[in-house]
Amino acid sequence: MTTAIDIVIPTLNAGPTLARTLAALPAHPDLAFSIILCDGGSRDDTVGIARRAGAAVVTAPAGRGGQLAAGAAAGGAPWLLFLHADTRLQSGAGDVIARFVQSIDGKAGYFRLRFDADEAGARRVERLAAWRCRTFGLPYGDQGLLISRLHYERLGGFRPLPLMEDVDLVRRIGSNHLVLLDTDAITSPARYRRDGWWLRPLRNLSCLSLYFAGVPPQTLRRLYGG
């Protein structure tokens, strides 16, 4: 029996990384994948790259939470796989996904974070992400999210938040219902190289702390940018 999965990718000027992400999307004989790209107003060739790869393209105002919600709403497959445009799944991910979708509904899966980089800082941030997931059950969006549509809709889906849309959803899923899938989400290091392998994690941690303290995501967006 073939299981259908909508792969939802939010984009905004994602041309430099999108083609590689699309080329590495998983495949498996028991899975039927559809690609839904939700674009927030790209001015580069993002939409053209997606259409040439056979993706359905929808649009929404820029903002990852709203774009993810719009992309999910545009499909109808019983499973959803959310990916960032600068993240590609490790070879063999299709086998891992196929096993997971046979599991009992009510769980959501995420992948190990790995950066496409050799720097020591990349390994440090990967270890920090693994600890955060293990201790607090808080995978971020760059680790992907695999969830049944029924469970996603029961939870209310992604909210149209400018930041922390990933944390907001996984907190509603709950750490006891999150499963680490045995494959890597290989992510671009560009933002960390730009901001620094120390500074960006500290920025992320401060954002997370303020969010938990009740600071609205709209305020965090103004303080820290997109």
Task: Give the pLDDT mean for 128-136.
Answer: 97
Helix-helix angle 165-173:64-73, to 10 degrees: 60
Which of 2-38 are b and which e, b meaning 16 or more Cβ less than 10 Å from the residue's Cβ? Answer: ebebbbbbbbbbbbebbbebbebbbebeebebbbbbb
Q: Which tens digit of pLDDT belongs to each residue from 77-113?
A: 999 999 999 999 999 999 999 999 987 768 999 999 9
Distance CA 173, CA 80 (A): 14
Q: Which tens digit of pLDDT belongs to each residue from 35-54?
A: 999 999 999 999 999 999 99
Residue 144 burial (CB count, 10 A): 27
Residue holding tokens 């049944």?
148
pTM comes to 0.96
Share of the chain above pLDDT 90, in %: 92
Q: Which tens digit of pLDDT belongs to each residue from 156-172?
A: 999 999 899 999 999 99
Residue 202 has pLDDT above 80, yes or no: yes
Residue 225 has pLDDT above 70, yes or no: no
- 3-189: CATH topology: Spore Coat Polysaccharide Biosynthesis Protein SpsA; Chain A (3.90.550)
